[in-house]
Amino acid sequence: MDVIVRFYEDVRLFSDAAEEFLLSRTVLHNLILTIVDGRLTLPEPGRYWVAFRAEQVVGVAVQSPLTYPATIVPMEPDVAAALVDAIVDADVILPGVNGEVATAASFAGRWTERRKSAAFPVQGLRLYQLVELNETASVEGQLRRADAGDRNLAVAWLQEFYVETKMPAINAESFMDAALASKRLWLWQDGSVVSMAISSKPIQGVVRLSAVYTPPESRKRGYAAACVHGVSRYFTDAGYRCMLYTDLGNPVSNSIYRRIGYRAVAEAIHYRFD
């Protein structure tokens, strides 16, 4: 049966069309759910595509901000191809795509055919969900929520984090301002501040941890593990499920999260289009 793709610029119309589908897999779809929730609260230009088969949603792609790669959900290869065809036929140029490995590969392959351009794998990611919070080795220091006095340090660390991870650049100042205002920035303090993590707004009972960063001079002392463990405990005790993405190129972080109790749910990949 044919796949029909509908394009939306209005995030509310997109949410009305795709919400039931997105809520069917709240962990796998968390990134897009978070983007949509953010745009509903603070509007920003975006492009939203929904693929239907027999009036049932079978695929979704989102691009917001417009300088970012598209983010896609897991879907069948023919659905990914239909999305690419609709995007190319509308003469939209994407800088890349993020998504579950097989789906992103299908999307990127079709993109290279239609655009007669190249696609380069930039970063492999693994999605983890906290299954059971394990006890970990004691680490000096304590967890605390950040306040306004931590802003400049947090902005600098976030900029360093994005350089190290080679992720698409963001406005670190506005991002940190939002995290501070909503009390989602967490710090591990051992005399001075030595590590940080950011928690997402809970979406359907799921909280995503991100931007876990320890400056080079404070590494290999267990601070990042302690910070993530403390934040995970806070939200687990509050009844939420925790998840996070890791760079597959960083075996240290992957092993740390597994020791804490996170288990792999899926792999994802980011392709850059030229």
Is residue 187's pLDDT more than 90? yes
- What secondary structure letter does DSSP report for 120? E
What pLDDT shows up at residue 218? 96
φ/ψ of 57, rounded to 5, equals -70, 130
Q: Smallest Cα–Cα separation from 35: which of 13, 9, 65? A: 65
Q: Chain-wide mean pLDDT for the chain?
A: 95
Domain boundaries, the chain: 3-117, 130-267
Rounded distance between C-alpha atoms, residue 146 and residue 197, angstroms: 10
What pLDDT shows up at residue 167? 75
What pLDDT shows up at residue 62? 98
What pLDDT shows up at residue 107? 98
Rounded distance between C-alpha atoms, residue 197 and residue 181, angstroms: 15
Is residue 5's pLDDT more than 90? yes
Is residue 70's pLDDT more than 90? yes
What pLDDT shows up at residue 136? 87
pLDDT-derived band at 42, boundaries 50, 70, 90? confident
Bridge-partner residues for 123, per DSSP?
270
**Mean pLDDT, rounded, for 172-179:** 93
Higher pLDDT, 203 or 165: 203
Quick: pLDDT tens for 120-159: 999 999 999 999 999 988 999 999 999 999 999 999 999 9
**Mean pLDDT, rounded, for 224-239:** 97
What pLDDT shows up at residue 241? 97
pLDDT-derived band at 165, boundaries 50, 70, 90? confident
pLDDT-derived band at 47, boundaries 50, 70, 90? very high
**Mean pLDDT, rounded, for 27-53:** 95
What pLDDT shows up at residue 115? 97
H/E stretch holding 49? strand 47-53
**Is 3-117's fold the same as 130-267's?**
yes
**Mean pLDDT, rounded, for 27-31:** 96
Contact partners, residue 254, CB within 8 Å, separation at least 6: 126, 246, 248
Rounded distance between C-alpha atoms, residue 77 and residue 83, angstroms: 10
**Mean pLDDT, rounded, for 188-215:** 97
Structure tokens at 135: 């006890």
CATH of domain 130-267: 3.40.630.30
Q: Smallest Cα–Cα separation from 249: which of 167, 165, 128? A: 165
What's the CATH class of domain 3-117? alpha beta
Q: What are the strands of the beta sheet with 241-247, ordered from one edge?
A: 3-8, 47-53, 56-63, 70-72, 96-100, 262-273, 119-130, 241-247, 206-213, 192-199, 185-190, 142-145
What pLDDT shows up at residue 13? 98
